Amino acid sequence: MTAVTRNDYVVRAIRPDDWERVKQLRLDALRDPVAHLAFLETYENAASKPDSFWRDRAVGSGTGSDTAHQFIAEAPDGTWGGSVTVLLEEPGTRDWAGNPVERRQGHAVGVFVRPEHRGNGLIEALFTAGLAWAWQQDAERVRLFVHEDNTRAQAAYRRIGFAPSGLIVSFAQDETANELEFVLERPS
Ligand SMILES: CC(C)(COP(=O)(O)OP(=O)(O)OC[C@H]1O[C@@H](n2cnc3c(N)ncnc32)[C@H](O)[C@@H]1OP(=O)(O)O)[C@@H](O)C(=O)NCCC(=O)NCCS
């Protein structure tokens, strides 16, 4: 069988009627062996949420939203290989940790590529779409937080063009560990 390359995927924003697949991808991500480093939510917590939560998420991060966009990559066989969500943060507001937001910026969260789709550049295709949406929203930069021990994700982010900003925050799931802020400035 010919290997699937990044060009074989269709990368697109989710639509409201995708909610069941949004839920399935998230639950699968939360069962990944590195989920404890990668995500702030547990599988049990996500699995207990009612369908209305996932319907709302598919609307709130879908094609009609101007505050968040979730991008997925659909393989030729219809599988969703991975996903990136970009949240738009506005100056004068506070971020999820309660810290003030000083710039109009994107915040990438929920970054996940299924294990059998890793290493083929799909993560770059997802970020190409996510970053383009952020720039369309006039974001000055896009940031994300990555666990200090998640070296695979850090390598992927550096390849895409992100760099550590120097901001280090304690990891919400384990105060003895840290997360690093990585930033990519809008190209001039
Ligand atoms: C993070 C993730 C999206 C990256 O996608 P990917 O397809 O695996 O990324 P790539 O393989 O293209 O790039 C990863 C880099 O790490 C390297 N790498 C591979 N395995 C590695 C490992 N076990 N440890 C460290 N680096 C590793 C790769 O060689 C590559 O480096 P390169 O760019 O110098 O060639 C994916 O691994 C994933 O979904 N991980 C689980 C969830 C997660 O960690 N999400 C991020 C939360 S912040």
Q: Using a 6 Å cutoff on CB, does residue 159 contact ligand 1?
A: yes
Q: What angle do CA 35, 165, 82 make, to 5 degrees?
A: 35
Report the pLDDT value the prediction gives residue 159, as an integer from 0 to 100. 98
**What is the block-wise mean pLDDT of the chain (188 residues), using blocks of 10 residues?**
78 97 98 94 97 97 96 96 97 87 96 96 96 98 97 98 95 88 96
Q: Using a 6 Å cutoff on CB, does residue 112 contact ligand 1?
A: yes
Domains of the chain: 6-139 (3.40.630.30)
Ligand 1 atom 25 nearest Cα: 152
Half-sphere exposure (Cβ direction) of 96: Cα atoms closer than 13 Å: 12
Q: Using a 6 Å cutoff on CB, does residue 111 contact ligand 1?
A: yes
Report the pLDDT value the prediction gives residue 85, as an integer from 0 to 100. 98
Give yes or no for a contact between 99 and 39, defined as CB atoms under 8 angstroms apart.
no
Distance CA 20, CA 54 (A): 7
Report the pLDDT value the prediction gives residue 1, as an integer from 0 to 100. 47
Q: Which numbered atom of ligand 1 lies nearest the CA of 32?
A: 41
